[in-house]
Amino acid sequence: MPSEFSQQEQSVLAPYFTNLDRDVFALRNLPEVVKGALFSRYSRTNKSLRRVLYDEFINDKDMAFDQIVSAPKQDETVAIKKAEEFYDRVLVGYGDDSVAELGGAHIAVENVSNIVTKVLQDSRLGISPLEKSTRYVYFNEKDVAGKYRYYREPELMAADARAYESACDGLFDAYSKLLDPMTAYFKERFPQGDASERAYASAIRAKTCDSLRGLLPAGTLTNVGMYGNGRAFDYLLLKMYASPLSEARAVAASMQTELSQVIPSFVKRANDKYGQATQGFQKAARAQVAPFAARLPESRQMVEVALTNFDADAEEKIVAAILYEALPSHTDLRSLNAHVRLMPSDTKAQILDAYCGHRQNRRQKPGRAFENATYTFSIRANYGAYRDLQRHRVLTQQRQLLCTQHGFDLPPEILDAGFQSQFTDAVQTAAAVFESFQKDHAVAAQYVVPMAFKLQWYVTMNLREAFHLIELRSMEQGHADYRRVAQHMYYEINRVQPRLAKYMTFVDFKDYGLERLSSEKKIDQKLEQVKEKYG
């Protein structure tokens, strides 16, 4: 492919990236504050990360980039080699590679499918990803060859390229053709009122994107920025090398090439003989379990959110944990648990009230005592909602393969605007292609499934995390699909343990029209404050 940058642009950008001509690259020679701002902007634009840095940081005089970042006086290569030598000496001398958690890297992965972004974002700890948003960015642009931007999965292309591309093109055609009509529909339905032009346009754009994202196939290409420590990257690469997805394995190899230029010691074991042995273990486990799973009859979950497991003695566990921290150090937990079991119910209620009954906003979360109660939810919601909820990475969560058997969600706005046939025709055509692939290409076939289709997954979380997730994801500006999941989670906890659920006082059950508008108005206020502060 021709270079995205002129010779002059390349000379300016070269010090800040490990390469200028590939889709996977690491950042270097940039202060942390610049990397954070750069990745934040990256999630709200169609531009590549390198183009954002050049156009909106380096070339924008108001950013004062040259004052923040002094041009590198020498190549980092020598310093990296010295660091690798030091790391190896520490590892050999002390036998502890936890130092890999103290060194990290920023890396961008561009033109990666929405299927593999979920693999990239599966890591529970150690990696912070930020993905190009389907809520704030239109996905109707084509590449330089005039083709829609989705992953041409090699296995499916070899099986029936015409059917695969026709289905994906049909989805993108429907998405593109409905952008303007749905924008007009929302403007008519929600007048601007006292909102600024910027706030109103942003809210309308988000609403339009939200209503149409279900048309995007899971193979839609996107961009992901990540920051992570060395140990987390090492294990992520190892898991990706063991993946049944060929794209995941290819991205892992590209990531290791680039990370080896900035944190080589930390990632070298992902695919060495020890890493390959662990990859083999993971592949064998997957292969050996599959025949057992194949023998089980199919069953359908009838509700969107089902509480499948919880601690019946959650209240006693939590009260004991609350008291444990306040008691003298010679008091043991086993004796305390026995004492709490005999405690009058109203006394336990008073302790709970004292601990978290005075919350004033959702950010005032209960303390760690609430981590002693756990809940497992089985969820069936559309893939778009899953993408949002997966971001709560501390949870224990596992998903099944994306398929079409659970049906799809038709946004009520699409129905009300009169575009039901355009939406359903494209979705059902893609579903038929998926079903033709599914038997022989079950894993690869996921790429053609539209995001409107429902996925099954489960999550296990403690009560403290439940407060965080449910109150955050039920907020006004949230997408209606995941707001509904969060609300149902609350209902389920309240059904079995109302005395604990009552402290979730900031769950939002209201219905909203233009969800983002109030949030955009607050952004206007903050922008004015920035102008007043900096001119």
Structural contact between residues 352 and 297, judged by C-beta atoms closer than 8 angstroms: no
Q: How far apart are CA 229 and CA 51, in angstroms?
A: 25
pLDDT for res 74: 54
- Express as a percent the part of the chain with pLDDT over 70: 93
pLDDT for res 264: 84
**Highest mean pLDDT range out of 216-220, 298-302, 508-512?**
216-220
Q: In the chain, how many H helices and how many E strands?
A: 22, 8
Domains in the chain: boundaries: 7-134+220-291
In the predicted structure, residue 31 carries a pLDDT above the cut 90? no
Structural contact between residues 381 and 455, judged by C-beta atoms closer than 8 angstroms: yes
Question: What's the burial of 8, exposed, middle or buried (CB within 10 Å: 0-12/13-18/19+)?
Answer: exposed
Instruction: For residue 235, give both structure tokens.
Output: 């294990």
Interval 473-487: pLDDT, tens: 999 999 999 999 999
How is 48-104 classified by DSSP, letter by letter? Answer: -HHHHIIIIIIS-GGG-HHHHSPPPSS-THHHHHHHHHHHHHHHHHH--GGGGGS-E
In the predicted structure, residue 132 carries a pLDDT above the cut 50? yes
Q: At what angle do helices 154-189 and 197-212 cross, to 10 degrees?
A: 140
Identify the weakest region by mean pLDDT among 28-42, 215-229, 280-294. 28-42
pLDDT for res 128: 92
Interval 250-276: pLDDT, tens: 999 999 999 998 888 788 889 999 999
Interval 426-441: pLDDT, tens: 999 999 999 999 999 9
- H or E element in which residue 225 lies: strand 221-229
Domain spanning 7-134+220-291, CATH class: alpha beta
Interval 374-429: pLDDT, tens: 999 999 999 999 999 999 988 999 999 999 999 999 999 999 999 999 999 999 99
pLDDT for res 1: 54
pLDDT for res 98: 67
Structural contact between residues 56 and 41, judged by C-beta atoms closer than 8 angstroms: yes
20 pLDDT tier (thresholds 50, 70, 90): very high
- Express as a percent the part of the chain with pLDDT over 90: 76
How many Cβ atoms are within 10 Å of 131's Cβ, its own excluded? 21
How many Cβ atoms are within 10 Å of 195's Cβ, its own excluded? 20
Q: How far apart are CA 502 and CA 84, in angstroms?
A: 53
In the predicted structure, residue 509 carries a pLDDT above the cut 60? yes
- Mean model confidence pLDDT for the chain: 91
pLDDT for res 9: 95
pLDDT for res 94: 47
pLDDT for res 2: 62
Identify the weakest region by mean pLDDT among 214-223, 287-296, 437-446, 484-493. 287-296
pLDDT for res 73: 52
CB neighbour burial string for 67-76, b if at least 16 within 10 angstroms, e if fewer: eebeeeeeee
116 pLDDT tier (thresholds 50, 70, 90): very high
Q: How far apart are CA 520 and CA 196, in angstroms?
A: 9
In the predicted structure, residue 79 carries a pLDDT above the cut 60? no
What residue type is 261 in one-letter code?
Q
Interval 180-218: pLDDT, tens: 999 999 999 999 999 999 999 999 999 999 999 999 999
Instruction: For residue 351, give both structure tokens.
Output: 């302790």
In the predicted structure, residue 99 carries a pLDDT above the cut 90? no
Structural contact between residues 515 and 476, judged by C-beta atoms closer than 8 angstroms: yes
89 pLDDT tier (thresholds 50, 70, 90): low
pLDDT for res 43: 82
Cα→Cα distances 84→99, 106, 162, Å: 12, 18, 49
- H or E element in which residue 325 lies: helix 314-326
